[in-house]
Amino acid sequence: LNSYLFITAIPIHCTAPLPILSSSLSNFLQTAHQSCSEIMARRLFSSLSVQSPINLSVSGGIASLGLSRPQARNALGQDLVHRLRKALHAIRHDRQVRVVLLHSTVPNVFCAGADLKERAKMDEAEVAMFVHSLRDSFKEVQDLPQPTIAVLDGAAIGGGLELALACDFRIGSSSAIMGLVETRLGIIPGAGGTQRLARLIGPSKAKELIFTGRRINGKTALEIGLIDYYVDGPSGFDEGLKLANDIIPSGPIAIRAAKTAIDKGLEVDINSGMVLEELCYSQVIRSKDRIEGIRAFLEKRPPVFKGE
């Protein structure tokens, strides 16, 4: 990919067009860069085999991201986290992916948290480095441009729950058991749990769950706002798939812009948030998808969005 190496040397990722390039050449370079990114993403998809602790497949615009480490109840070991980050990179750069569905392929467990057997062999510096990597990985989940849905069947404990907290939506089944139990081990949640849980359910309830290390079921999680949907059955996968399919018809550029406006807007005051919303709106108003949406409405047909 010699041409790809040349293209990526030019900072065409900037939103503003390059003044030194003609419009046609700039468009060509951006298209070539995007195509090469998608080729590399596809190669990453194929490298995540069924033997991997991460199973990744795409169908109908939905990326199914399955945790698959049955011998360790999907514990967050170094290899699993490394492969998770590879999968997230592939998803981020694949325009065909409209929604991400995070789930477990192992019965009765979503993720049991940290791999304590592996961690027991680490020194303090190695533990700190791994937790930092875990925190960054979950930030990558949070920052995916596509909507993310976590399906919690069985145990979602410690880092497992922190992973789910990094997603946009959480669905819990009657088999779900959730908890941030780190204080029972003499530590604290270190992959975003103290921050995301408090923002989601309020500081008092977050402190109660973290200070006590209490585990709660799906019904209780729904009552306190920890999950968005509760399924009275052993699996919430079908409900997650339904939600994903409800999102698919919406314009992908609009969805990404709305996610940015909401997530980043919550980090600033309301007036700054309004400015951010205006900036995000200015991005979608220039898109071909917006024209298609208006045309489809006038022609009384479903729009065909291409993410352009």
The pLDDT tens digits of the residues spanning 59-76 come to 999 999 999 999 999 999
Cβ partners under 8 Å of residue 101, min gap 6: 62, 63, 64, 65, 149, 151, 237, 240, 241, 244
For residue 307, what pLDDT is reported?
Answer: 87
For residue 106, what pLDDT is reported?
Answer: 96
Residue 120, both tokens: 């027991």
Does the structure show a pLDDT above 60 at 102?
yes
Reduced to 3 states (helix: H, G, I; strand: E, B; else coil), residue 37 is helix
Q: Which residue in 168, 179, 57 sits closest to 111, CA to CA?
A: 179
Pairing of strands 109-111, 99-104: unpaired
For residue 34, what pLDDT is reported?
Answer: 53
Query: Which positions are annotated as active-site residues?
Result: 114, 159, 162, 182
Sketch out the chain's domains with CATH numbers.
1-47 (no CATH), 52-247 (3.90.226.10), 252-298 (1.10.12.10)
From CA 166, how far away is CA 295, in angstroms rounded? 36
Q: Which residue in 76, 199, 200 sits closest to 138, CA to CA?
A: 76
Tell me which of 108 and 34 has the higher pLDDT: 108
Question: Of all residues in the chain, what percent carry a pLDDT higher than 90?
Answer: 82
pLDDT tens, 256-295? Answer: 999 999 999 999 999 999 999 999 999 999 999 999 999 9
For residue 26, what pLDDT is reported?
Answer: 44
CB 56 within 8 A of CB 45: yes
From CA 44, how far away is CA 2, in angstroms rounded? 19
How does residue 30 score in pLDDT terms, banded at 50, 70 and 90? low
Task: Calculate mean pLDDT across residues 160-176.
Answer: 98
Report the 10 Å Cβ neighbour count for 22.
10
Half-sphere exposure of 130 toward its Cβ, with a 13 Å CA cutoff?
A: 20
Residue 69, both tokens: 């480490």
